[in-house]
Amino acid sequence: MRRIVTLILLALVALPSLKAQSEDALRKTINNLEASIEKEEKELSKLKKNKSSKKKLVNSLARQIEKRNALIAARDKQIKQLGQDIKDAEKRVGELSEELTAAEVSCQRMAREAYRNYRHNSTLAYIFSSSTALDFAHRIASLRSATIARKQQIAHLTQTREAVQKERQSLTAKREEVAVAKQKLDKQRKKMREERDLAKATIRQMTKKEKSVQASMAEHEKRLNEAIAELRKLTKGNKSGNSFSSTTKGLKLPVTGGRVVRYNANTAEIVGSKGAGISAIYEGKIVRISRNKINNKYDVYIAHGEYISSYANLSEVCVKKGDNVVKNQKIGTIASMVNPATMDLEYKILFAIHSPNPKVTMKASNLFK
């Protein structure tokens, strides 16, 4: 039993350090999102007063809804982590309580034995009834060992009591943290519903031309093209996936069960279901993975020889920079995105294919024929 409590005590020290990185990263994500939402709220306050700027208002609301959705997901993840922490803590409290009971029983037994010996003077009788000098020495050593054992048992009992108290305090703190996190989660959901209603009402007042501009993915496309200009320099001479060419056709869509909602030259907007996997269209090498610190979404870039395919808006990735991937290998998971025309959440990626020659624009639609 003593070995069990020792292992538990070691776990109390080791577990926080093992979980610290993921918990800290999640808290950092939540803090970043909350700071960004607060900043966007100030901008929204100004735009609401400016009645003529409907497009800017809807754009701002779309960004805010996306951020709140990311914050809700992060809070939900935090609550689940805390729930698991509570289960683990309850288990440790149970194990330590059993050990504490056993230690108390042992200490009580030793105390009764020591009192009985003291009352009947049996210790002295035990020593002086020795038959030889060697027997006398053995009995003295035996009594010393018993005294050391009692002291160790008392120390063990104290240590176990402290461990139980520490775990119970941790358990209380975790439960309070869950309650606070749930309150904040409910508040974010309410705010997001209000913002979506306002955005939809504003969209109904917009002209057809304003709505057309509003629904475009130009901002994402611009970000991808800027990244590609830099990556072209790094992919010169790349041999991984160099059988890919401008005439490659018959490839599978990178979204499992996905469908294309819009082609625009070298890009394709592809929607899928929640949790859908994102896969490489062809064998190649992961040359970059970038992460948006505000919405926590990923962009992945794969070199096929000197051609580059890009996948924007992933919620998580299962590859790393420098990895070689095979055709149709999963690289991550689709993320949500606010449709700025309807303010509804969609699961979508922006896929693009890029030629080594910046003057040549490939057609994404040709890849999937």
Q: Which 3-state string (H, E, C) describes 183-212?
A: HHHHHHHHHHHHHHHHHHHHHHCCCHHHHH
Could you tell me the two tokens for 286?
A: 């992961």
CB 286, CB 322: distance < 8 Å = yes
Dump pLDDT digits (tens) for 168-215: 787 788 888 888 888 888 888 888 888 888 877 777 766 555 555 444
Adjacent-strand bridge partners of 352: 267, 310
Could you tell me the two tokens for 55?
A: 């497009």
pLDDT at 150: 63
pTM of the model: 0.59
CATH code that applies to domain 2-204: 1.10.287
Phi, psi angles (nearest 5°) of residue 64: -65, -45
**Which own/partner pairs from 138-143 qualify as long-range (CB within 8 Å, at least 24 positions apart)?**
none
Looking at residue 121, its amino acid is: N
pLDDT at 118: 47
Instruction: Please state, as a whole number, how many other Cβ atoms lie within 10 Å of the Cβ of residue 321.
Output: 13
- Characterise 118 by phi-psi region: left (phi > 0), alpha (psi -120 to 50), beta (else): alpha
pLDDT at 86: 80
pLDDT at 214: 47
| Segments of the chain assigned E as strands | 259-264, 267-271, 277-279, 284-291, 298-304, 307-317, 324-325, 330-334, 336-338, 345-354
CB 68, CB 195: distance < 8 Å = yes
pLDDT at 326: 95
Side-chain-side CA neighbours of residue 344 (13 Å): 5
Could you tell me the two tokens for 5?
A: 């409590």
Q: How far apart are the first and last CA of the chain?
A: 67
Phi, psi angles (nearest 5°) of residue 248: -60, 130
Dump pLDDT digits (tens) for 108-120: 665 566 555 544 4
pLDDT at 270: 93
Q: Do domains 2-204 and 216-367 have the same CATH topology?
A: no
CATH code that applies to domain 216-367: 2.70.70.10
Could you tell me the two tokens for 78?
A: 């935090």
What is residue 243's three-state secondary structure?
Answer: coil
pLDDT at 108: 66
Does an H or E element contain 140, and which?
helix 133-204
Nearest CA to 38 among 69, 68, 62? 68
The residue whose two tokens read 């050990």 is 99
Q: Per-10-residue mean pLDDT for the chain, 369 residues long?
A: 50 53 78 83 78 73 82 85 80 72 66 54 53 64 63 68 76 83 86 82 66 52 70 83 90 93 89 93 93 79 93 92 94 86 82 88 88
Could you tell me the two tokens for 169?
A: 């305090």
Give the domain ranges of the chain.
Answer: 2-204, 216-367
